[in-house]
Chains A and B, each alone.
Chain A
């Protein structure tokens, strides 16, 4: 060996290296803790969302949303304090109503969180990894349950604080804890229900669906195929699911009972209410604005208003078709009150138009659009009951702002 030259250890090149042995079974200690996988993905999504917001938008959400929540809370507690003697006098009714509301909220939150967790846990990139189906299901349930626990705690705290406002004293704390438990158990029941993986966009698009005579002909008029595209079905078809059939059945039964009640009492109001609620529900369930985010429209010479109106056409027709039957029957029940029928029709159009603006803003999630629409309506109807009709100017301003933002995003990204 020559002096001054250090002997280098032999480093095999790629051709000389042995292929790594593939372990047949991974030792337990080297496995990833899969249970928290979906929870970690959800956390990463939340962090990414916050980081992607501009500071100005974040400030709007925190300060504006916080201010609205604070006002809503103060208004609620003020009303609760004013109604305290009445509520204490009818405690069983108040408790039953609260429990029913908690069950409704818990089930809704559970269904939503289950969908959110499934979207992460059944993502295509996870399905090709060596993870068992049971491990993924457990991780999905755990992720959804963790978020449900946060929501349940917040709800329980709110119920406990309201109980304090009602002057229930030491009972407030157990009331809050019970409310948390009811909410969480209900949400957990929904989350634990067996779930089917969501079909991929391509799988959904190739699903044949049920052919509806005349639907393709209507969808072809003017700018063609917007409805089929937005629904993710082939033209002239709708996708039939058990959930949709049940929803339609429940809606029809409700409308039937309300119409029967109206006919018996010669009163148009129940029928019109059923028509209005059903019409809005049909519109909410059938309107999809996702094509407004597509480069197909955004790079084409079509304005936001024209594209948006075209997306509304078929859902609006379905909504008006549903409204027509109860409205006609309501008119038959009480012909002298005919003026209320066109008024309700205009109300339906106004509500649908407001929802359509929410749907254009929250174009990726019908659920978020519907929740925001309901929350805004409740908020402003509540405010108007307290401060008068001028409060609706706030609703108009909110709708105008959402419209402006949706149009701006469509035009300039």
Chain B
């Protein structure tokens, strides 16, 4: 029997270009409930551009993006209600405190700012002492934690993290990865763009490598399950070097 629930993300024939040069060139990508997708690629491969297009920050030249069954172009507000995006630390509202930022996001989403999952995430990521400090006074790592928790407010079906584990201390990084695993296990779709290749096999259920604006290579769940961190890393390096030589 076919699943009646629409997919958290379905992007079809996506083309995004800057100044006439295509950065993302004809990508088809679907992410299902319970998937934790690792997005890999060299600098400039198009990871952030793809995520910006998916989150409605840059317009695609061609293609469609459906989030939770809602077309992002035609119904942006409805589509955006179905994902949470960890804001880059530099883009957070600097004069507000983390608590005020959460209140702002929660009011927009129409949920409680300090509901149990958020309070739990704050405790696990250990930034309670900085909760009432202006974000401007916080370190890069603390701001990254605020961005991660902000994405979780309202627990939307699709959660997107663009290199959000960068700058986290080891404990926080470990806790963040555990949270992502739990979210995927509870049926949320999670996308994690990362350069930390060795974290992917133990964390993600699927991985794609972006190269030359397209999907260069995909690793299925069963391939990731048997891969160790060093073998996967070597595999990714070979794929990256191969693309570069071919290019």
Query: Once bound together, how far apart are the Cα atoms of A411 and B55, in whole Å?
Result: 10
Binds B, one of A74-82, A223-231, A246-254: A223-231
A301 and B57 contact, Cβ closer than 8 Å, known pairs A201-B94, A222-B107, A234-B134 = no
Query: Once bound together, how far apart are the Cα atoms of A174 and B93, in whole Å?
Result: 54
- Tell me the nearest residue of chain B to A219, going by C-beta: B100
* A235 and B100 contacting across the interface, CB-CB below 8 Å: yes
Query: Once bound together, how far apart are the Cα atoms of A206 and B133, in whole Å?
Result: 10
A296 and B87 contact, Cβ closer than 8 Å, known pairs A301-B77, A301-B81, A413-B57 = yes
Q: Which residues of B contact A303 (CB under 8 A)?
A: 77
What is the minimal beta-carbon distance from B51 to any residue of chain A, in angstroms?
Answer: 10
* A294 and B91 contacting across the interface, CB-CB below 8 Å: yes
Query: Once bound together, how far apart are the Cα atoms of A298 and B56, in whole Å?
Result: 7
* B85 and A299 contacting across the interface, CB-CB below 8 Å: yes
Number of A residues with CB within 8 Å of any CB on chain B: 33
Q: Point out the residue from A233, A294, A301 that lies within 8 Å of B108, measured CB to CB.
A: A301
| A295 part of interface (Cβ distance < 8 Å) | yes
| B243 part of interface (Cβ distance < 8 Å) | no
* B105 and A301 contacting across the interface, CB-CB below 8 Å: no
* A300 and B91 contacting across the interface, CB-CB below 8 Å: no
Interface residues on B, range: 35 or more
- Tell me the nearest residue of chain A to B151, going by C-beta: A299
Of residues 200 through 215 on chain A, the ones whose CB sits less than 8 Å from some CB of chain B are: 201-202, 204-206
| A13 part of interface (Cβ distance < 8 Å) | no
> Residues 300-316 of chain A: 1 if any B CB is under 8 Å from the residue's CB, otherwise 0?
11110000000000000
* B96 and A225 contacting across the interface, CB-CB below 8 Å: yes
Of residues 90 through 130 on chain A, the ones whose CB sits less than 8 Å from some CB of chain B are: none
Q: Point out the residue from A205, A224, A291, A298 that lies within 8 Å of B136, measured CB to CB.
A: A205
Q: Point out the residue from B55, B83, B94, B108 that lies within 8 Å of A302, measured CB to CB.
A: B108
* B95 and A232 contacting across the interface, CB-CB below 8 Å: yes
- Tell me the nearest residue of chain A to B78, going by C-beta: A301
A52 and B19 contact, Cβ closer than 8 Å, known pairs A205-B134, A295-B88, A413-B56 = yes
What is the minimal beta-carbon distance from A70 to any residue of chain B, in angstroms?
Answer: 31
What is the minimal beta-carbon distance from B178 to any residue of chain A, in angstroms?
Answer: 25
Q: Which residues of A contact B76 (CB under 8 A)?
A: 411-412
| B137 part of interface (Cβ distance < 8 Å) | yes
| A336 part of interface (Cβ distance < 8 Å) | no
- Tell me the nearest residue of chain B to A239, going by C-beta: B95
What is the minimal beta-carbon distance from A134 to any residue of chain B, in angstroms?
Answer: 31
- Tell me the nearest residue of chain A to B84, going by C-beta: A299
| A243 part of interface (Cβ distance < 8 Å) | no
Q: Which residues of A contact B150 (CB under 8 A)?
A: 296
Query: Once bound together, how far apart are the Cα atoms of A225 and B102, in whole Å?
Result: 11
* B56 and A411 contacting across the interface, CB-CB below 8 Å: yes
* A296 and B77 contacting across the interface, CB-CB below 8 Å: no
| A51 part of interface (Cβ distance < 8 Å) | yes
Query: Once bound together, how far apart are the Cα atoms of A202 and B73, in whole Å?
Result: 34
* A234 and B95 contacting across the interface, CB-CB below 8 Å: yes
Taking each of B87, B93, B97, B107, which has the highest tally of chain A beta carbons within 10 Å of its own beta carbon?
Answer: B93
Query: Once bound together, how far apart are the Cα atoms of A365 and B192, in whole Å?
Result: 35
A206 and B136 contact, Cβ closer than 8 Å, known pairs A235-B100, A300-B80 = yes
Q: Which residues of A contact B83 (CB under 8 A)?
A: 299
14 contacts between A and B (CB under 8 A): A202-B136, A206-B134, A225-B103, A225-B104, A234-B97, A294-B93, A295-B55, A296-B104, A296-B105, A296-B150, A299-B83, A299-B87, A301-B80, A413-B56
Interface residues of A (CB under 8 A from B): 51-52, 201-202, 204-206, 222-226, 228-229, 231-235, 291, 294-303, 411-413
